[in-house]
Amino acid sequence: MNIEVLTIFPDMFDSFLAYGIVSRAIKSGRIRVSPVNIRDYAAGKHRQTDDRPYGGGAGMVMMPEPLAGSINAARKKDGRAKVILLTPQGRPFDQDTAGKLAKESGLVFVCGRYEGVDERIRSDYIDDEISIGDYVLTGGEIAAMVVIDAVIRLIPGVLGSDESATADSFSNGLLEHAHYTRPQIFRAGAVPDVLLSGNHAKIDEWRLESALVRTFLKRPDLLEKKALSSREKAILKKWCDNIERLVSGQDSGHQGGDALSRADTLSGEEP
Protein backbone atom coordinates (compact mmCIF):
# COMPACT_ATOMS: atom_id res chain seq x y z
CA MET A 1 0.00 0.00 0.00
CA ASN A 2 1.15 3.48 -0.88
CA ILE A 3 0.52 6.19 1.71
CA GLU A 4 1.21 9.87 1.18
CA VAL A 5 0.89 12.28 4.06
CA LEU A 6 0.45 15.93 3.18
CA THR A 7 1.61 18.13 6.04
CA ILE A 8 3.46 21.32 6.84
CA PHE A 9 5.52 19.33 9.41
CA PRO A 10 6.82 16.24 7.56
CA ASP A 11 9.63 15.71 10.10
CA MET A 12 7.02 14.83 12.74
CA PHE A 13 6.75 11.44 10.99
CA ASP A 14 10.45 10.51 11.25
CA SER A 15 10.34 8.64 14.54
CA PHE A 16 6.86 7.22 13.90
CA LEU A 17 8.18 5.54 10.75
CA ALA A 18 11.49 4.42 12.29
CA TYR A 19 10.32 1.91 14.92
CA GLY A 20 8.65 -1.43 15.46
CA ILE A 21 6.05 -2.95 13.21
CA VAL A 22 5.65 0.24 11.14
CA SER A 23 9.35 0.32 10.29
CA ARG A 24 9.40 -3.43 9.57
CA ALA A 25 6.39 -3.12 7.23
CA ILE A 26 8.21 -0.41 5.29
CA LYS A 27 11.46 -2.41 5.08
CA SER A 28 9.58 -5.49 3.86
CA GLY A 29 8.06 -3.40 1.05
CA ARG A 30 4.46 -4.08 2.11
CA ILE A 31 3.82 -0.37 2.63
CA ARG A 32 5.42 2.87 1.57
CA VAL A 33 4.79 6.02 3.58
CA SER A 34 5.85 9.36 2.11
CA PRO A 35 5.43 12.54 4.12
CA VAL A 36 5.14 15.45 1.66
CA ASN A 37 5.67 19.08 2.64
CA ILE A 38 2.64 21.12 1.54
CA ARG A 39 4.96 24.14 1.56
CA ASP A 40 6.73 22.68 -1.51
CA TYR A 41 3.53 23.50 -3.43
CA ALA A 42 3.19 27.04 -2.07
CA ALA A 43 4.00 30.06 -4.25
CA GLY A 44 5.86 33.24 -3.52
CA LYS A 45 8.99 34.17 -1.69
CA HIS A 46 7.54 33.16 1.68
CA ARG A 47 5.89 29.94 0.46
CA GLN A 48 2.88 30.80 2.58
CA THR A 49 0.39 28.00 3.31
CA ASP A 50 -2.09 29.82 5.55
CA ASP A 51 -4.01 33.07 5.37
CA ARG A 52 -6.56 35.09 7.34
CA PRO A 53 -10.22 34.03 7.16
CA TYR A 54 -12.66 36.01 5.02
CA GLY A 55 -15.21 37.55 7.37
CA GLY A 56 -12.60 38.10 10.05
CA GLY A 57 -12.12 36.35 13.33
CA ALA A 58 -9.35 34.54 15.11
CA GLY A 59 -6.99 32.01 13.59
CA MET A 60 -5.76 31.19 10.13
CA VAL A 61 -7.06 28.99 7.32
CA MET A 62 -5.01 26.66 5.12
CA MET A 63 -4.85 28.19 1.65
CA PRO A 64 -6.40 26.17 -1.20
CA GLU A 65 -3.59 26.38 -3.80
CA PRO A 66 -0.81 24.55 -1.91
CA LEU A 67 -3.29 21.86 -0.81
CA ALA A 68 -4.69 21.44 -4.33
CA GLY A 69 -1.15 21.25 -5.74
CA SER A 70 0.00 18.59 -3.29
CA ILE A 71 -3.21 16.54 -3.61
CA ASN A 72 -3.01 16.67 -7.42
CA ALA A 73 0.63 15.52 -7.31
CA ALA A 74 -0.32 12.59 -5.04
CA ARG A 75 -3.26 11.70 -7.32
CA LYS A 76 -0.99 11.74 -10.35
CA LYS A 77 1.12 8.98 -8.75
CA ASP A 78 -1.92 6.87 -7.85
CA GLY A 79 -5.24 7.76 -9.45
CA ARG A 80 -7.12 5.26 -7.27
CA ALA A 81 -5.79 6.58 -3.95
CA LYS A 82 -8.42 7.70 -1.47
CA VAL A 83 -7.92 11.25 -0.17
CA ILE A 84 -8.69 11.58 3.54
CA LEU A 85 -8.80 14.79 5.54
CA LEU A 86 -8.00 14.53 9.24
CA THR A 87 -10.36 16.86 11.08
CA PRO A 88 -12.34 16.85 14.33
CA GLN A 89 -15.42 17.24 12.10
CA GLY A 90 -14.80 13.87 10.41
CA ARG A 91 -16.42 10.47 10.87
CA PRO A 92 -15.34 8.89 14.15
CA PHE A 93 -12.48 6.46 13.42
CA ASP A 94 -12.92 2.86 14.56
CA GLN A 95 -11.60 -0.66 13.92
CA ASP A 96 -14.20 -1.22 11.21
CA THR A 97 -13.00 1.82 9.26
CA ALA A 98 -9.38 0.70 9.78
CA GLY A 99 -10.26 -2.66 8.20
CA LYS A 100 -11.88 -0.99 5.19
CA LEU A 101 -8.96 1.39 4.64
CA ALA A 102 -6.51 -1.55 4.85
CA LYS A 103 -8.07 -2.87 1.61
CA GLU A 104 -7.37 0.32 -0.37
CA SER A 105 -4.43 0.37 -2.82
CA GLY A 106 -3.39 3.86 -1.79
CA LEU A 107 -4.24 6.50 0.79
CA VAL A 108 -3.51 10.23 0.87
CA PHE A 109 -3.81 11.85 4.29
CA VAL A 110 -4.29 15.61 4.42
CA CYS A 111 -3.26 17.01 7.80
CA GLY A 112 -5.18 20.16 8.66
CA ARG A 113 -3.66 22.82 10.92
CA TYR A 114 -4.93 26.13 12.30
CA GLU A 115 -8.69 26.58 12.02
CA GLY A 116 -8.88 24.12 9.13
CA VAL A 117 -8.70 24.00 5.36
CA ASP A 118 -10.43 26.25 2.84
CA GLU A 119 -13.95 24.88 2.30
CA ARG A 120 -13.40 24.47 -1.48
CA ILE A 121 -10.65 21.93 -0.78
CA ARG A 122 -12.94 20.01 1.53
CA SER A 123 -15.76 19.92 -1.02
CA ASP A 124 -13.77 19.32 -4.22
CA TYR A 125 -10.69 17.29 -3.30
CA ILE A 126 -11.54 15.18 -0.25
CA ASP A 127 -13.09 11.69 -0.46
CA ASP A 128 -13.55 11.13 3.27
CA GLU A 129 -13.06 12.99 6.56
CA ILE A 130 -11.89 11.22 9.70
CA SER A 131 -11.74 12.29 13.35
CA ILE A 132 -9.96 10.24 16.03
CA GLY A 133 -12.22 11.42 18.86
CA ASP A 134 -14.21 14.24 20.36
CA TYR A 135 -11.37 16.56 21.36
CA VAL A 136 -9.33 19.10 19.41
CA LEU A 137 -5.69 18.57 18.42
CA THR A 138 -3.42 21.34 17.13
CA GLY A 139 -3.16 19.50 13.82
CA GLY A 140 -4.02 16.35 11.92
CA GLU A 141 -0.49 14.85 12.02
CA ILE A 142 -0.89 12.81 15.21
CA ALA A 143 -4.34 11.73 14.04
CA ALA A 144 -2.81 10.60 10.72
CA MET A 145 -0.25 8.53 12.63
CA VAL A 146 -3.02 6.96 14.70
CA VAL A 147 -4.98 6.03 11.57
CA ILE A 148 -1.91 4.80 9.65
CA ASP A 149 -0.80 2.66 12.62
CA ALA A 150 -4.23 1.06 13.01
CA VAL A 151 -4.57 0.47 9.24
CA ILE A 152 -1.18 -0.98 8.37
CA ARG A 153 -1.28 -3.67 11.07
CA LEU A 154 -4.36 -5.05 9.27
CA ILE A 155 -2.56 -5.39 5.92
CA PRO A 156 -1.83 -9.08 5.26
CA GLY A 157 1.74 -10.03 6.19
CA VAL A 158 2.46 -6.89 8.25
CA LEU A 159 1.92 -8.70 11.55
CA GLY A 160 3.80 -11.94 12.08
CA SER A 161 1.78 -15.07 12.84
CA ASP A 162 2.49 -14.59 16.57
CA GLU A 163 1.11 -11.05 16.39
CA SER A 164 -2.18 -11.95 14.73
CA ALA A 165 -4.88 -9.28 14.57
CA THR A 166 -7.74 -11.77 14.71
CA ALA A 167 -7.91 -11.85 18.53
CA ASP A 168 -7.57 -8.06 18.91
CA SER A 169 -9.89 -6.03 21.03
CA PHE A 170 -12.82 -4.86 18.83
CA SER A 171 -12.15 -7.37 16.03
CA ASN A 172 -15.04 -9.52 17.33
CA GLY A 173 -16.91 -6.66 19.02
CA LEU A 174 -15.37 -7.46 22.43
CA LEU A 175 -12.39 -6.21 24.41
CA GLU A 176 -9.57 -8.72 24.47
CA HIS A 177 -9.18 -11.24 27.31
CA ALA A 178 -6.66 -10.85 30.16
CA HIS A 179 -3.01 -11.75 29.47
CA TYR A 180 -0.35 -13.25 31.73
CA THR A 181 3.33 -14.04 31.32
CA ARG A 182 6.08 -15.17 33.70
CA PRO A 183 6.52 -15.17 36.65
CA GLN A 184 3.73 -17.52 37.72
CA ILE A 185 3.41 -15.64 41.04
CA PHE A 186 3.79 -11.85 41.05
CA ARG A 187 3.09 -10.03 44.33
CA ALA A 188 -0.17 -11.52 45.60
CA GLY A 189 -1.33 -12.57 42.14
CA ALA A 190 -1.09 -16.04 40.66
CA VAL A 191 -1.65 -16.93 37.02
CA PRO A 192 -5.05 -18.68 36.73
CA ASP A 193 -4.56 -22.47 36.84
CA VAL A 194 -6.51 -23.05 33.63
CA LEU A 195 -3.85 -21.18 31.63
CA LEU A 196 -1.21 -23.64 32.90
CA SER A 197 -3.38 -26.69 32.22
CA GLY A 198 -2.54 -27.20 28.55
CA ASN A 199 -6.26 -27.85 27.93
CA HIS A 200 -6.89 -25.62 24.93
CA ALA A 201 -10.67 -26.01 24.91
CA LYS A 202 -10.77 -24.88 28.55
CA ILE A 203 -8.32 -22.05 27.85
CA ASP A 204 -10.47 -20.83 24.93
CA GLU A 205 -13.56 -20.94 27.15
CA TRP A 206 -11.76 -18.99 29.92
CA ARG A 207 -10.55 -16.39 27.43
CA LEU A 208 -14.02 -15.88 25.98
CA GLU A 209 -15.42 -15.52 29.49
CA SER A 210 -12.66 -13.05 30.38
CA ALA A 211 -13.38 -11.04 27.21
CA LEU A 212 -17.13 -10.97 27.86
CA VAL A 213 -16.86 -10.00 31.52
CA ARG A 214 -14.32 -7.25 31.00
CA THR A 215 -16.31 -5.88 28.08
CA PHE A 216 -19.41 -5.85 30.30
CA LEU A 217 -17.50 -4.07 33.09
CA LYS A 218 -15.48 -1.59 31.02
CA ARG A 219 -17.48 -1.06 27.82
CA PRO A 220 -21.09 -2.24 28.15
CA ASP A 221 -21.93 -0.12 25.07
CA LEU A 222 -19.97 -2.63 22.95
CA LEU A 223 -22.14 -5.51 24.17
CA GLU A 224 -25.31 -3.62 23.29
CA LYS A 225 -24.11 -3.26 19.70
CA LYS A 226 -22.92 -6.86 19.33
CA ALA A 227 -24.92 -9.86 18.09
CA LEU A 228 -24.02 -12.42 20.77
CA SER A 229 -23.51 -16.09 19.86
CA SER A 230 -25.39 -18.70 21.90
CA ARG A 231 -22.12 -19.62 23.62
CA GLU A 232 -21.54 -16.00 24.59
CA LYS A 233 -25.09 -15.65 25.83
CA ALA A 234 -24.70 -18.79 27.95
CA ILE A 235 -21.55 -17.41 29.59
CA LEU A 236 -23.16 -14.07 30.46
CA LYS A 237 -26.28 -15.88 31.70
CA LYS A 238 -24.12 -18.02 33.99
CA TRP A 239 -22.69 -14.83 35.53
CA CYS A 240 -26.20 -13.40 35.88
CA ASP A 241 -27.43 -16.58 37.56
CA ASN A 242 -24.49 -16.60 39.96
CA ILE A 243 -25.03 -12.95 40.90
CA GLU A 244 -28.75 -13.59 41.33
CA ARG A 245 -27.98 -16.53 43.62
CA LEU A 246 -25.63 -14.36 45.66
CA VAL A 247 -28.19 -11.58 46.02
CA SER A 248 -31.08 -13.88 46.94
CA GLY A 249 -28.78 -15.60 49.47
CA GLN A 250 -28.27 -12.19 51.09
CA ASP A 251 -32.03 -11.47 51.03
CA SER A 252 -32.84 -14.71 52.85
CA GLY A 253 -30.40 -13.82 55.62
CA HIS A 254 -27.57 -16.15 54.69
CA GLN A 255 -24.03 -14.91 54.98
CA GLY A 256 -21.24 -16.24 52.87
CA GLY A 257 -22.11 -19.28 50.83
CA ASP A 258 -20.26 -20.18 47.69
CA ALA A 259 -22.28 -18.46 44.99
CA LEU A 260 -19.48 -16.07 44.11
CA SER A 261 -16.69 -18.56 44.41
CA ARG A 262 -18.61 -20.63 41.90
CA ALA A 263 -19.06 -17.54 39.70
CA ASP A 264 -15.39 -16.77 40.01
CA THR A 265 -14.15 -19.26 37.46
CA LEU A 266 -11.79 -16.50 36.32
CA SER A 267 -9.70 -17.20 39.45
CA GLY A 268 -9.64 -13.71 40.84
CA GLU A 269 -8.54 -11.91 37.70
CA GLU A 270 -11.97 -10.63 36.89
CA PRO A 271 -14.11 -9.89 39.98
Residue/partner pairs of 78-82 with CB below 8 Å, 24 or more apart: 78/2, 78/105, 78/106, 80/104, 80/105, 80/106, 81/2, 81/4, 81/105, 81/106, 81/107, 81/108, 82/106, 82/107, 82/108, 82/127, 82/128
Report the nearest approach of ligand 6GU to the CB of residue 88 (Å).
Answer: 4
Kindly tell me which of 129 and 264 has the beta carbon lying closer to ligand 6GU: 129
Kindly tell me which of 140 and 192 has the beta carbon lying closer to ligand 6GU: 140
Span of 45-53, 75-83, 139-147, 158-166 interacting with ligand 6GU by CB under 6 A: 139-147
CA distances from 35 to 29, 122, 141, 197 (A): 16, 20, 10, 49
The answer for residues whose C-beta is within 8 angstroms of residue 139's C-beta and 6 or more apart is 7, 9, 111, 112, 113
Report the nearest approach of ligand 6GU to the CB of residue 115 (Å).
Answer: 10
What is the full DSSP assignment across 19-38? SHHHHHHHHTTS-EEEEEEG
CA distances from 29 to 10, 32, 43, 204 (A): 21, 7, 34, 35
Q: Does residue 131 belong to the site contacting ligand 6GU (CB under 6 A)?
A: yes
Contact assessment for residue 95 and residue 168, using Cβ atoms and an 8 Å cutoff:
yes
Report the nearest approach of ligand 6GU to the CB of residue 68 (Å).
Answer: 20
Contact assessment for residue 129 and residue 91, using Cβ atoms and an 8 Å cutoff:
yes
Kindly tell me which of 33 and 111 has the beta carbon lying closer to ligand 6GU: 111
Q: Does residue 132 belong to the site contacting ligand 6GU (CB under 6 A)?
A: yes
CA distances from 209 to 169, 214, 263 (A): 14, 8, 11
Annotate each residue in 12-31 with x if it binds ligand 6GU (CB under 6 A) or - if it does not, as one string.
--------------------
Q: Does residue 86 belong to the site contacting ligand 6GU (CB under 6 A)?
A: yes
Question: CA–CA separation, 242 vs 236, rounded Å?
Answer: 10
Identify the residue among 103, 119, 133, 204 touching ligand 6GU (CB under 6 A): 133
Span of 57-65, 100-108, 134-142, 169-177 interacting with ligand 6GU by CB under 6 A: 134-142
Identify the residue among 10, 66, 106, 140 touching ligand 6GU (CB under 6 A): 140
Report the nearest approach of ligand 6GU to the CB of residue 131 (Å).
Answer: 4
Kindly tell me which of 137 and 211 has the beta carbon lying closer to ligand 6GU: 137
Kindly tell me which of 117 and 175 has the beta carbon lying closer to ligand 6GU: 117
Identify the residue among 11, 14, 56, 135 touching ligand 6GU (CB under 6 A): 135
Question: What residues are labeled active site?
Answer: 88, 115, 153, 168
Contact assessment for residue 33 and residue 63, using Cβ atoms and an 8 Å cutoff:
no
Identify the residue among 6, 8, 107, 143 touching ligand 6GU (CB under 6 A): 143
Chain residues binding ligand 6GU by CB under 6 A are 86-88, 90, 112, 130-133, 135-137, 139-140, 143
